[in-house]
Amino acid sequence: MGIFDALNTAVGGLQAQSFSLQNISGNIANASTVGYKGIDTSFVDLIPDATSPDRQVAGGVTAYAQATISTQGTVSASTVATNMAINGDGFFSVEKATGSVDNQPVFSGTTDYTRRGDFQLTANGNLVNGAGYYLMGVAVDPKTGNPIGNVPQVLQFQNNFVPAQATSAIQYAANLPTVPATTASATAIAGTITADGGLNPADFSQNPLVLGTPATPFGDATTTGAAALNQAATPGPITAATALSGTAPSNSLTTSFSNGDTIVVDGQTITFSTSSPTSTSASGGVINIGTGTVQDILTAIGQITGVPPTINASTGAITLHSGTAQDLSVSSSAPAFAALGFPTTMTAARTGGGTAGTGFVVGNDVATFDAESISGGAVTAYNAAGTPVNLQLRWAKTDSASLGTPHQDTWNLFYQADPGATGTQVAWVNAGTNFTFNANGSLSSPTGSAISIANLTVSGQSLGTVMLNVGSGALTQYASTGGTATVNNISQNGYAAGQLQSVAINNNGLVVGTFSNGQNLDLASVTLSHFNGTNYLQALSGGAYAVTEQSGPAIAGASGTISGSSLEGSNTDIADEFTKLIVTQQAYSANTKVITTANSMVQDLLNVLR
């Protein structure tokens, strides 16, 4: 080693510092480059062989690049919906176009990797970043959301068209009032289902309850006359032993029946006679005026209706019963009938009865149905061709716990099948399920989270079978001051056909398309990859990297996550680079001093020869 070796070493030092300066210059120049990863300089000493340590010299130096690819840059928000950044480990898979055929990019099939996420949509429907790299990913079926294959391909979204999807499920959540405020309830007789805001099948020409629901058994109805002096004898209670003569006996009616007077009960005639003996049956009979009593009249009426009339022992008021065979109809030709407390004619309709449930409301009954039910909301549904239909819902309370045991709070849901239905045309259809509620307002039946509505058809448009989903706690019956249904959610899964309008990337790394039908559907999944030797990737122009032997092959998946509408900035630290710049400048100057000194020493050596 000598002076000339020192000169060479100094030259090596100048080269190493120049290499460092070049890296510093590049880092500073790319301080604003999206996804840029700075390059540090690593200096390595070159020690010449020596026979013994005590003859070892410092030797020269060389410089190597030290990548900082694994160092995260700052992530900031972006206003571009297709921009994205990776938080943590991972790389986007990209390809560089090698040319163009018919205005379509052509690729070599070589996959590169980048963290530069400033992707934007081109006219061809590709997502390309600012350096010209095309984004790769896995396409997703927009109707099912499932990936199509697992090998990343260059993504393209051009004139994407999504076919119509028929409504197959409705999400529904609502609170039904304990006492519905219906129009009919205001004028209904107390103690009836109508007075409790409910629906009375007897008010309909066809029973609209759930198909096959047994008709309500007929119940006895009563009509009570005015107070009457049916026995003048005192003391003692008034009984039906009063004579019909209207003459001297103190227990006679004040007005006498006459020979030939009649009382017609449900079409069967009871005749009053002065000569024929009393004889009664279910088909009528004869009452002898001389020997007959009020009790004989009541017995005759009871044989026809099936239920004997009763008498109030305090007032003498008589109560007639319709029985369950038919409605009560009574008329009399006898003025003395008024002495019993009744007008000349009277009627009483049996309770209940009617037909079995047909499961629909006909046009003739729409006004009654509207008066005895409440709105359940509406939603636009779609058939298989994407035709929109206005699906209107109404709730009718069909039974109420307030009516006493064994009654319980029960509701039926109806949907409007034909808003213009008239006559016997079907206007509303019962969904076919009895919704019953516990005393605490929770749903007790059905126990599942969904019911099936078969053959749902609205205005001639068939939707097929639709599931009504009422998840746990979604349908309740709590007191409501307004008496109306509070609909908390009503949505469906159908839509019309639509064409792609725009795309965006969400935080799950999914490319989401917005279509002309208002749907936002997943179109593709952006795939990430990672490497065992990240910092040994080969840097390419434009912030991309190629696989090397030292980096190892790309491994699908990464621990990092994607942030949509964001960008990762350069990881260059300007302050650090300026500090390194000062050190490099001083080191370079020092190496020039070594050269100057060595040159002076050589000149001194040459002067010895003079």
Does the structure show a pLDDT above 80 at 217? Answer: no
Residue where the block lists tokens 């044989």: 303
| Domain locations along the chain | 3-72+570-607, 75-163+499-568, 169-215+355-492, 220-352
Average pLDDT rounded to a whole number, residues 534-549:
94
Secondary structure of 13-80 as H, E, C letters:
HHHHHHHHHHHHHHHHHCCCCCCCCCEEEEEEEECCCCCCHHHCCCCEEEEEEEECCCCCCCEEECCC
The CB density around residue 59, as the number of other CB atoms within 10 Å, is: 15
Q: How far apart are CA 307 and CA 415, in angstroms?
A: 42
Share of the chain above pLDDT 90, in %: 59
Mean pLDDT rounded to a whole number for the chain:
89
Share of the chain above pLDDT 70, in %: 97
Average pLDDT rounded to a whole number, residues 122-141:
94
Backbone angles phi, psi at 237, to 5 degrees: -70, 155
Does the structure show a pLDDT above 90 at 453? Answer: yes
**In sequence order, what are the beta bridge partners of 22?**
none
Cis peptide before 446 (omega within 30 of 0): yes
Q: How much is the pLDDT for 395?
A: 98
pTM above 0.85, yes or no: no
Q: Would you identify the CATH topology of the domain 169-215+355-492?
A: Tick-borne Encephalitis virus Glycoprotein; domain 1 (2.60.98)
Does the structure show a pLDDT above 90 at 9? Answer: no
Torsional sign, CA 316, 318, 319, 325: positive
Of the listed ranges 8-12, 415-419, 511-515, the least confidently predicted one is 8-12
Q: Is 607 exposed, middle or buried (0-12, 13-18, 19+ CB in 10 A)?
A: exposed
Q: Is 578 exposed, middle or buried (0-12, 13-18, 19+ CB in 10 A)?
A: exposed
Q: How much is the pLDDT for 270?
A: 94
Query: Would you give the DSSP letter of residue 349?
Result: P
**In sequence order, what are the beta bridge partners of 587?**
none
Query: Would you give the DSSP letter of residue 189?
Result: P
Of the listed ranges 100-114, 244-258, 402-416, 425-439, the least confidently predicted one is 244-258
Q: How confident is the model at residue 236 (pLDDT cuts 50, 70, 90)?
A: low
Q: Which amino acid is located at 471 in the chain?
A: G
SS3 593: helix
Q: How much is the pLDDT for 114?
A: 96
Q: How much is the pLDDT for 235?
A: 55
Average pLDDT rounded to a whole number, residues 542-555:
94
Q: How confident is the model at residue 50 (pLDDT cuts 50, 70, 90)?
A: low
Does the structure show a pLDDT above 80 at 510? Answer: yes
Torsional sign, CA 238, 240, 241, 247: positive
Contact 128, 157 (CB under 8 A): no
Q: Which of 399, 395, 397, 400 is nearest to 374 (CA)?
A: 395
Q: How much is the pLDDT for 234?
A: 53
Cis peptide before 406 (omega within 30 of 0): yes
Q: Which two tokens stand for residue 217?
A: 């058994």
Q: Which amino acid is located at 434 in the chain?
A: N
Q: How much is the pLDDT for 219?
A: 79
Torsional sign, CA 205, 207, 211, 216: negative
The continuous run of DSSP H or E covering 304 comes out as: helix 294-305
Torsional sign, CA 362, 364, 367, 373: negative
- The pLDDT tens digits of the residues spanning 334-368 come to 988 988 889 999 888 777 767 888 999 999 999 99
Q: How confident is the model at residue 532 (pLDDT cuts 50, 70, 90)?
A: very high
Contact 477, 441 (CB under 8 A): yes
Q: How confident is the model at residue 69 (pLDDT cuts 50, 70, 90)?
A: confident
Query: Would you give the DSSP letter of residue 165?
Result: B
Q: How much is the pLDDT for 230?
A: 65
Torsional sign, CA 6, 12, 15, 16: negative
Q: How confident is the model at residue 143 (pLDDT cuts 50, 70, 90)?
A: confident
How far, CA to CA in Å, does 427 sit from each of 418, 458, 459, 555? 5, 10, 9, 62
- The pLDDT tens digits of the residues spanning 284-311 come to 999 999 889 899 999 999 999 999 998 8
Q: Is 190 exposed, middle or buried (0-12, 13-18, 19+ CB in 10 A)?
A: exposed
Q: How far apart are CA 293 and CA 256, in angstroms?
A: 11
Question: 399-424: string of b/e by CB count within 10 Å (b at 16+)?
Answer: bbbebeeeebbbbbbbbbbbeebeee
Q: Which of 165, 129, 131, 128 is nearest to 145 (CA)?
A: 165
SS3 136: strand
Q: Who's near 57: CB < 8 A, 6+ residues apart? A: 1, 5, 47, 48, 50
Average pLDDT rounded to a whole number, residues 171-184:
96
* Cα pseudo-dihedral 357, 359, 362, 368, rounded to 10: 70
Of the listed ranges 242-246, 426-430, 443-447, the least confidently predicted one is 242-246
More confident residue, 29 or 134: 134
Q: Who's near 277: CB < 8 A, 6+ residues apart? A: 286, 288, 291
How far, CA to CA in Å, does 576 sit from each of 28, 39, 420? 10, 12, 79
Q: How far apart are CA 360 and CA 457, in angstroms?
A: 13
Q: How far apart are CA 307 and CA 297, in angstroms?
A: 13
CA–chain centroid gap for 498, Å, is 21
